[in-house]
C-alpha cells in the first residue's frame, strides 16, 4: 500500500515544468533528479555554489571539490557555473528559483514547515539553507513519509517542532497521497494505490478536502 | 528545452510597457546596450522610470530615449557627463524627474533588489543633502542611512558572450552594472556579441549565471555610441 | 613591491591571538584550509570565535581545532554532518557555545561585513525561533528580520591559484564561502595549490581581487580531510 | 609662486606608501599616477570595475570598454582584475582602499568636503562615487587650487556648498601648501616656493597652525 521513496520522487519529478530552476533538499528530494521525464530540461541548483548540477559520477570521476549540499559527489552539466555563497543565496532569497523540494518533520494545515530540529534537549540544531529556501523560493514542495517512523502524524494542525517557515508549503508528496495546501485548506490531489480517503484522513490531523 | 535566445532585438523588448521601471546597464558608453535602447525607442513605451548610472551622450542611445520623451524619471549617480546635453536641458526645464543616488548606494540598492534584501544601512551620504529625510541609525558609534533595494520590470544589459541558458561573460570595464542589473528585474534582456553552445564558457568564469537572464539576442557588431556622437548622428535619424 | 607570498603556513598564522574571531572557509571538506587550521592548532591560540558553515569531521582540521579546546564559540549553519563527532559531544556537555545562523543569512552577514554594511533586512528565519529577540520590520506588507554584518580578525581560506598580489581563483564547489570571507577580515590568509606570476590569471576570471588578501602560502599538495578521517587519523597525532 | 598642477600631483604621489591601494578622482588627482616614485608599487582602483589600472594607452590600443571613472581610456597592468559595481563598492565602502584622492569645491576647518554640487539653481547635481569614497576609504586627500578661479577661498570655516562628507578630509595639497587636518586643527606641513605663512593665512578662512 502506498508509494515507495522512489515513487514519491517520481510523482514530484513529473510535476516539474520544463525549464524550471530547482533546488533539491537532502534525502528523498535528491532522488527527484533521477526521474524527470524525457524531453524536459530542468536546471538543478545546489546552494554550495553550483547551478547545473548533473548526475552522480562513477568512482573514477569523483572530486572532493565537486559536491552537493548533502556533501555527496555530483557532476556539472555543460552550461553549468560555479559561484560563491552570497551569490548562491541571492538566487534563493531573491526569488530566482522556481521550486524548492524539501523533507519534513511536520507540516501544518496552514503550510507551516518544521524540518530542522526536534527541539529536544541534547539534539544538535542544524538549519543549513532551509530557512532561506522557504523564504525565497516561489514554490515549496515537501516529500515525506506521511507518518514518522515512530508512528507520529507528520501532517498536523500545528507544528510542535520549531518552525522552518510559516505558511510556505504549497504541496506535500507523501507515501500516501499528494496534497495541495492553499487558503482553501488541504486538498487531496491524488491518492496512492490502495489508500482510501478515509484511511488518509485517519493518518492526518487536519481535516482534508477530497 | 531551455532556449533563451530570441530572434531579434525588436522581439526582445516587445513587451516593455508604459510606466515600466527599466534598468539600463553601462557606465558611460561601456556596457550600454545601444541596440536594445534603440528598439525601445522604436517601440515607444513611455512614462518610464530608468535606472542607469548616467544619462547618455549626444542624441543616440539613452540620451535619445530621454529626448524622445519616453522617460518620466531617471535614477542615477552622474546625470551630466561630457557630451550629455539632452538630460540637462529637460531637467532645467522641469520636464524630467531626477533621483540622485551615490554610485555605491545605487549599486548596492540594485544588488539588494536582486538578492531579496528590502533595505540595508550604509555610511555613504550621511550628513549630506542626499540623506535628507531618510532614516538614520547608529551602529558601533557611527551613523548610517537606511536605503531600499530597487527592483525593475526590465533590465537591458550588454554582454560579451552568452549561451542559450543565459550564462554570460563581459568584456573589461563594460561589466560594471550588468551583473547586478541582471539579478534585479522581472525580465532581464541581454544583447550579446557572441553566442556559444552551453559548456563553451568554462563554468569557473561565468559572471552572470543563466538563472538571472530571460532573453538573449545576438548583436554581433554593436554600434559605438562615441562614434555615433562624433558623427552627430541622431536616433531616430 | 607588493608581495603577499609568505614562506610557510606556520608563518602565515603566527599572529592569530587568543580571543580572535576567525572565519574558516569550506563547505564540509571542500574548500577547508586544513593546513592553515593545523598550523593554528600548533600555534595554540585559544578562546577563539570561529565562523564556518560546519564544525568539521573526524579528529582532523576544524574538528581537531575544536577538540583541542581552542574554540569558545562556533557561528555556523550546520554543526552536525556525517562524521562530525567532536562538536556534538562538547555542545551536549555545555563546553562550547553555538550561534546557529541560516546559511544564506550567514553568507549575507559575512558579505555585509566585507562591504561596510552594518545591518540589513532578510525574510529568512522570520516566524522561527532563530528570529527570537531580533528586530523585525515590515516592507511592502512582508515581515523581515534585521541581521548584522560580521567581521573577523582573521580569515583562513583555501584557493586554487594565486599570484603575489593576492588575486585568487577557486576550484568548483570549493569556492563556497572563500570569496566573501576574504573580504570580511582584518587579515586574510590564503593557502593556494598553485602560485603564478601576476598576469597569468586572466583579469576577467579573477574571483577574489588581491585587495582582499593579505597573505598567501603555497600548499601544493593539501591533505584530503575525508581520507584522513577514513584512516582515523588525529591532529595532533 | 606656488606649485603647478603637476607639482601638486607630484607632492601627493611622493606621500603614497609602497603597496597602497589608491582611488584617484577626476581632474588633477588623475595626474598622481604619473608621478609615483620609482621602486614604489601602487595599485590603482577605478570604481567602474578595475583594480590595477595602468597608464593611458596610445591611440592604437584604445578600447571603449576599458575606461576609468572619468570615462577616459586606460590600460590594465599584469595582475589586474575586472569586477562588477557592487563588488567595486565593496572595496570602497568596506574600507579596503588605503587612499582616496579627490578634487574639491570647498574644504572646511574640521575636514568637511564639498565637491559635487554648487547647489545653484539650474546646476545639474552629479555625485558619482564621491560620497562612497569619503565614507569608506581610510585616508582622504584633496588636491585643489587654494582659491577658486573667481577668487573665492576654498579653505573655509564652514562649507557653503552641499557636503560630500563631514570631517573626512585628512590632508589638502593645494598650489600654495600641504595642510594636515586633524583634531588639533589645520597644520601646515609644507609651503610652496615663494609662499609665506602669512600669505597662506590670508588666502584661508580658518586659522592655520604653523
Confirm or reject contact between D63 and chain C (CB < 8 A). Answer: no
Q: Which CATH number fits the domain A5-209, given the four candidates 2.60.40.10, 3.40.50.1000, 3.30.70.260, 3.40.1080.10?
A: 3.40.1080.10
| Residue recorded with cell 530547482 | A22
Query: What distance in Å separates residue B56's CA from the closest CA in chain D?
Result: 12
| Average pLDDT of the segment spanning D29-41 | 91
CA–CA distance, A161 with A159 (Å, rounded to integer):
5
Residues whose CB is less than 8 angstroms from the CB of residue B91 and which lie 6 or more positions away in sequence, other chains included: B79, B98, D124
**A41 catalytic, yes or no?**
no
pLDDT(B141) > 90: yes
Set of chain A residues whose Cβ sits within 8 Å of the Cβ of B209: 51, 81, 83, 87, 91
CA–CA distance, C224 with D1 (Å, rounded to integer):
68
Count how many Cα atoms sit within 13 Å of the Cα of residue B25 in the half-sphere of its side chain: 35
Confirm or reject contact between D89 and chain C (CB < 8 A). Answer: yes
Q: Any idea where the domains of chain D sit in the sequence?
A: 5-209
Of the residues D30, D41, D47, D184, which is catalytic?
D47
Residues whose CB is less than 8 angstroms from the CB of residue B182 and which lie 6 or more positions away in sequence, other chains included: B114, B155, B157, B168, B188, B190, B208, B212, B213
For the residues of chain B, what is the DSSP string, one character each? Answer: ----B-S-HHHHTTT--TT-EEEE--BTTBT--HHHHHHHHHHT--SEEEE-SS--STBSHHHHHHHTT-EEEEEES----TT--HHHHHHHTT-SEEEE--HHHHHHHHHHHHHT--EEEESTTTTSGGGTTS-EEEETTEEEEEEE---EEEEEEEEEEE-TT--EE--GGG-TTHHHHHHTEEEEEEEEEEE--TTSS-TTT-SB-GGG-SEEEE-SS---HHHHHHTT-BS--
- For residue B40, name the pLDDT band (cuts at 50, 70, 90): very high
Q: What is the residue-averaged pLDDT of chain B?
A: 97
Q: Specify the number of domains making up chain C.
A: 1
Nearest-5° Cα angle at C119, C116 to C123: 130
Peptide bond preceding C236 in cis form (omega within 30 of 0): yes
Question: Are B179 and D124 within 8 A, CB to CB?
Answer: no
Largest Cα span, chain D: 51
Set of chain B residues whose Cβ sits within 8 Å of the Cβ of A95: 116
Question: Are D129 and B80 within 8 A, CB to CB?
Answer: no
What percent of chain D is helix, strand and coil (3-state, nearest 5)?
A: 20, 30, 50
Express each pLDDT in C172-216 by its tens digit.
Answer: 999 999 999 999 999 999 999 999 999 999 999 999 999 999 999
Question: Are C183 and D96 within 8 A, CB to CB?
Answer: yes
CATH number (domain holding residue C204): 3.40.1080.10
Asked, for residue B149, whether it belongs to a domain, the answer is yes
DSSP 8-state code for residue A18: T
- Give the pTM: 0.98
Closest CB from A65, A86, A132 relative to C180: A86
Q: For A133, name the nearest residue in chain B, comparing CA atoms only.
A: B116
Those residues of chain C that have pLDDT short of 70 are: none
Q: Residue B172: what are its φ and ψ, rounded to 5°?
A: 50, -135
Q: Indicate the burial class of A12 (C-beta count within 10 angstroms; 0-12, 13-18, 19 or more).
A: buried
Question: Are A130 and C102 within 8 A, CB to CB?
Answer: yes
| Closest CA relative to residue D64, chosen from A207, B193, B233, A184 | B193
Set of chain C residues whose Cβ sits within 8 Å of the Cβ of B144: 118-119
Asked, for residue C84, whether it belongs to a domain, the answer is yes
Set of chain A residues whose Cβ sits within 8 Å of the Cβ of C81: 71
Closest CB from C81, C107, C226 relative to A85: C107
- How big is chain D by its Cα radius of gyration, in Å? 17
Asked, for residue B226, whether it belongs to a domain, the answer is no
Question: Are C1 and D41 within 8 A, CB to CB?
Answer: yes
ipTM of the predicted assembly exceeds 0.90: yes
Asked, for residue B230, whether it belongs to a domain, the answer is no
Set of chain B residues whose Cβ sits within 8 Å of the Cβ of A86: 115
Q: How far is CA B210 from CA B109, B164, C82, C187, in A?
A: 21, 8, 32, 34
Set of chain C residues whose Cβ sits within 8 Å of the Cβ of B171: 204
Closest CB from B1, B164, B211 relative to A51: B211
Q: How far is CA D70 from CA B52, C215, D169, in A?
A: 16, 32, 21
Best C211, C212, C213 residue to mutate vs chain D (most D CBs within 10 Å): C211
For the residues of chain C, what is the DSSP string, one character each? Answer: ----B-S-HHHHTTT--TT-EEEE--BTTBT--HHHHHHHHHHT--SEEEE-SS--STBSHHHHHHHTT-EEEEEES----TT--HHHHHHHTT-SEEEE--HHHHHHHHHHHHHT--EEEESTTTTSGGGTTS-EEEETTEEEEEEE---EEEEEEEEEEE-TT--EE--GGG-TTHHHHHHSEEEEEEEEEEE--TTSS-TTT-SB-GGG--EEEE-SS---HHHHHHTT-BS--
Closest CB from C128, C179, C226 relative to A165: C128
Query: What distance in Å separates residue A198's CA from the closest CA in chain B?
Result: 41
Set of chain B residues whose Cβ sits within 8 Å of the Cβ of D92: 104
Taking any CB pair shorter than 8 Å as contact, residues of chain B touching chain A are: 1-2, 111, 113-117, 163-165, 167, 183, 197-199, 201, 203-204, 206, 209-212
Asked, for residue C108, whether it belongs to a domain, the answer is yes
Please name the residues between 170 and 209 in chain A that touch chain C, using a CB distance below 8 Å. none
Closest CB from D65, D67, D126 relative to B78: D126
Express each pLDDT in D42-83 by its tens digit.
Answer: 999 999 999 999 999 999 999 999 999 999 999 999 999 999
Asked, for residue C237, whether it belongs to a domain, the answer is no
Of the residues A7, A30, A41, A47, which is catalytic?
A47
**First-residue to last-residue Cα distance in chain D:** 19
- For residue D158, name the pLDDT band (cuts at 50, 70, 90): very high
| Residue recorded with cell 550546520 | C78
pLDDT in tens, chain A (210 residues): 899 999 999 999 999 999 999 999 988 999 998 898 999 999 999 999 999 999 999 999 999 999 999 999 999 999 999 999 999 999 999 999 999 999 999 999 999 999 999 888 888 999 999 999 999 999 999 999 999 999 999 999 999 999 999 999 999 999 999 999 999 999 999 999 999 999 999 999 999 999
Supply the range of the domain harboring residue B211.
Answer: 9-221
Amino acid at each position: 500500500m502506498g508509494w515507495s521513496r522512489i515513487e514519491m520522487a517520481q510523482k514530484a519529478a513529473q510535476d516539474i515544468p520544463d525549464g524550471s530552476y530547482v533546488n533539491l533538499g537532502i534525502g528523498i528530494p535528491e532522488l527527484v533528479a533521477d526521474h524527470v521525464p524525457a524531453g524536459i530540461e530542468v536546471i538543478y541548483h545546489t546552494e554550495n555554489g553550483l547551478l547545473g548540477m548533473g548526475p552522480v559520477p562513477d568512482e573514477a570521476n569523483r572530486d572532493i571539490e565537486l559536491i552537493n549540499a548533502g556533501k555527496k559527489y555530483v557532476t556539472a552539466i555543460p552550461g553549468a557555473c560555479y559561484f560563491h555563497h552570497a551569490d548562491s543565496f541571492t538566487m534563493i532569497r531573491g526569488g530566482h528559483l522556481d521550486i524548492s523540494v524539501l523533507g519534513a518533520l511536520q507540516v501544518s494545515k496552514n503550510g507551516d514547515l518544521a524540518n530542522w530540529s526536534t527541539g529536544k534537549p541534547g539534539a544538535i540544531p542544524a538549519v543549513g539553507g532551509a530557512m532561506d529556501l522557504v523564504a525565497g523560493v516561489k514554490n515549496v514542495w515537501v516529500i515525506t513519509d506521511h507518518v514518522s517512523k515512530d508512528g507520529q502524524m507528520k501532517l498536523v494542525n500545528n507544528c510542535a517542532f520549531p518552525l522552518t517557515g510559516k505558511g510556505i508549503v504549497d504541496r506535500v508528496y507523501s507515501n500516501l497521497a499528494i496534497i495541495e495546501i492553499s487558503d482553501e485548506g488541504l486538498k487531496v490531489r491524488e491518492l496512492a494505490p490502495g489508500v482510501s480517503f478515509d484511511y488518509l484522513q485517519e493518518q492526518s490531523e487536519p481535516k482534508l478536502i477530497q | 528545452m531551455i532556449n533563451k535566445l530570441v530572434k531579434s532585438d525588436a522581439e526582445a523588448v516587445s513587451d516593455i510597457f508604459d510606466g515600466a521601471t527599466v534598468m539600463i546597464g553601462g557606465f558611460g558608453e561601456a556596457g550600454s546596450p545601444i541596440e536594445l535602447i534603440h528598439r525601445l525607442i522604436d517601440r515607444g513605451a513611455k512614462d518610464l522610470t530608468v535606472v542607469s548610472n548616467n544619462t547618455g551622450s549626444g542624441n543616440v542611445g539613452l540620451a535619445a530615449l530621454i529626448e524622445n520623451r519616453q522617460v518620466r524619471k531617471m535614477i542615477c549617480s552622474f546625470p551630466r557627463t561630457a557630451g550629455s546635453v539632452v538630460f540637462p536641458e529637460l531637467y532645467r526645464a522641469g520636464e524630467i524627474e531626477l533621483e540622485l543616488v551615490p554610485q555605491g548606494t545605487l549599486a548596492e540598492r540594485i544588488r539588494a533588489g536582486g538578492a531579496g534584501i528590502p533595505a540595508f544601512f550604509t555610511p555613504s551620504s550621511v550628513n549630506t543633502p542626499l540623506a535628507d529625510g531618510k532614516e538614520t541609525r547608529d551602529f558601533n558609534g557611527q551613523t548610517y542611512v537606511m536605503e531600499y533595494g530597487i527592483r525593475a520590470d526590465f533590465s537591458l544589459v550588454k554582454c560579451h558572450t552568452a549561451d542559450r541558458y543565459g550564462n554570460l561573460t563581459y568584456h573589461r570595464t563594460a561589466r560594471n552594472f550588468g551583473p547586478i542589473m541582471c539579478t534585479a528585474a522581472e525580465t532581464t534582456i541581454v544583447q550579446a556579441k557572441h553566442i556559444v553552445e552551453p559548456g563553451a564558457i568554462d563554468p569557473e568564469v561565468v559572471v552572470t549565471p543563466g538563472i538571472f537572464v530571460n532573453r538573449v539576442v545576438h548583436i554581433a557588431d554593436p554600434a559605438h555610441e562615441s562614434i555615433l556622437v562624433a558623427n552627430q548622428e541622431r536616433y531616430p535619424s
